[in-house]
Amino acid sequence: MTGGSALPGPDGRPRCPWGLSAEDYLEYHDSEWGRPVHGDDALFERLSLEAFQSGLSWITILRRREGFRRAFDSFKIASVAEFTDADRERLLADPGIIRNRAKVDATLANARVLAQWPEGELDALIWSYAPDPAGRPAPRTVGDVPAVTDESTALAKALKGRGVRFVGPTTAYALMQACGLVNDHLAGCVARAECAARAA
Residues designated as active site: 28, 50, 58
The counts of H helices and E strands in the chain are 11, 2
Answer whether 97's CB lies under 8 Å from 68's CB.
yes
In the DSSP assignment, the letter for residue 34 is T
Number of Cα atoms under 13 Å in the Cβ half of residue 10 = 9
How far, in Å, CA of 98 to CA of 100, rounded? 6
DSSP string, 82-112: T--HHHHHHHHT-TTS---HHHHHHHHHHHH
Helix (H) or strand (E) holding 7: strand 7-8
How far, in Å, CA of 26 to CA of 139, rounded? 19
